[in-house]
Each structure stands twice: as structure tokens, then as C-alpha cells.
Amino acid sequence: MTIIRVADITLFHVAAQQLGDATQWNRIAALNSLSDPMLHGVTVLSLPPLDTGLGGGLPSQ
């Protein structure tokens, strides 16, 4: 697991930068018990491992 510190950014940006897919923001949100993709102030986030097989970051049904 990777831990990063971000400031005034969205989970969309974090997912695009760190996971290569902005639609995987929900994986970061779930891991950090967040429901809002908008982050305010300085936030420390845990990142899930890179998984290129997720197809758009949507959870499987």
C-alpha cells in the first residue's frame, strides 16, 4: 500500500496521476472511507495497488 499527501485536489486527479485512470477514484475513496471526491486542505491518502484489469475502475457486480 502506498500513502501520499495531497492538498486541495480531487480524487479524480489522484487516481489519474497515481493509478493511470481517473475513474478509479472510487477505489481510493473506499480505502480511505471517503464518499466525496473533492478534497479540501491537506489530506493523507492510502492508495490501493495498481490494477490495470479493472476496466474503468467500476466495481464488479
Query: Average model confidence (pLDDT) for the chain?
Result: 87
Which is more confident, 46 or 51? 46
pLDDT recorded at residue 53: 77
SS3 41: coil
pLDDT at res. 34? 95
Domain residue ranges of the chain, discontinuous segments joined by +: 2-47
Question: pTM (2 decimals)?
Answer: 0.81
Task: Quick: pLDDT tens for 6-35.
Answer: 999 999 999 999 999 999 999 999 999 999
- The predicted pLDDT at position 51 comes to 80
- Cα-Cα-Cα-Cα dihedral sign, residues 39, 10, 25, 18: negative
Which residues 6+ apart lie within 8 Å of 4 measured at CB?
14, 18, 44, 45, 47
